[in-house]
Amino acid sequence: MRLFVEYYDAIYSDKNYKVDADIMRSLVKTAARPSILEIGSGTGNQSLLLAEWANIAAVEMDKDFANAMRKKCAGNNAITLFEGDISGLDANGFDGAAALFHVLNYVPDHTAMLHLFKETAKRLKSGAPFLFDMWHAECALVDEPYETTRVKVFDNYLGKGKATQTIYPTFNTQTRDIRLDYDIVVELEGRAEPVHVTETINMHLHLEGEVAGALREAGFSDITFYDVKNYPELANDKSWTMWVVAHRAQS
């Protein structure tokens, strides 16, 4: 398992996963225990929160993340993990779908994005919500990503400690492809030597209009872009990240 995955919950210990799950809960209107399709479930943090009120079918393509999630969610009967592309998932009729923590930005181009949206749409009930968050490409083109260093203090199943994370971005404004080189030092109480973690993540920034067009082509309607920091305010030209809410078109 890659060190980035092993120490993921130290590196992102400052992430408020509950906000994501709460927004999803507010969108699902069924009174009974709903079924939720979760795309890109990572180590399972959002899955566990969603599973408090729903049955979760989690899809994860990365083998290391899938293995980490299996360990974390073992024994939770409300969560079913499928490892692979969503097209291989033999299930449908979901009451909602979620792709959280910038999953869409790991989708490399328009063709792959349309594939994801179509595969999601055909597995949802008519009118079901689809929630995801994404970097606002139009914002990034004006205010380009820059090198940042953050220190995160954590106290979880990994132990107590801190993670010092530096991200070096390389942004191609023509293709809107971005490479993020992570350099992380994890210091754990009781461990003499720190753990040095490196990881390279390749992402793509999709334009707002392209996303809306692909959603409509895939069979979604009622598409709204919200500001992540000030939800439920609508996104604007200062919204560096956005929530996107769409609904499976009524059949």
Instruction: Give CA–CA dist 131/38, Å, rounded.
Output: 10
Q: Is the domain of 155 the same as that of 102?
A: no
The total of structural domains in the chain comes to 2
Q: Same domain, yes or no, for 88 and 197?
A: no
- Domain holding 178, by residue range, is 141-204
Measured N-to-C along each axis, helices 208-218 and 110-121 cross at an angle, to the nearest 10 degrees, of 40
Q: Are residues 150 and 237 in the same domain?
A: no
What does the pLDDT profile of the chain (251 residues) look like in tens digits? 999 999 999 999 999 999 999 999 999 988 789 999 999 999 999 999 999 999 999 999 999 999 999 999 999 999 999 999 999 999 899 999 999 999 999 999 999 999 999 999 999 999 999 999 999 999 999 999 999 999 999 999 999 999 999 999 999 999 999 999 999 999 999 999 999 999 999 999 999 999 999 999 999 999 999 999 999 999 999 999 999 999 999 87
In whole angstroms, give the CA distance from residue 206 to residue 102.
11
Closest CA to 62 of 53, 70, 54: 70
DSSP state of 232: T
CATH no. for residue 34? 3.40.50.150
Q: Are residues 118 and 152 in the same domain?
A: no
Indicate whether 146 and 191 sit together in one domain.
Answer: yes
**Does the pTM exceed 0.85?**
yes
Amino acid making up residue 82? F
Are both 13 and 82 inside the same structural domain? yes
Establish how many alpha carbons lie within 13 A of residue 210's alpha carbon, considering only the half-sphere containing its beta carbon. Answer: 17
- Kindly state whether residues 80 and 192 are assigned to the same domain: no
Same domain, 45 and 131: yes
Note the pLDDT of residue 250: 82
- The answer to whether residues 126 and 230 belong to one domain is yes
Q: Are residues 120 and 17 in the same domain?
A: yes
Specify whether 122 is located in the same domain as 146: no
What pLDDT is attached to residue 31? 76
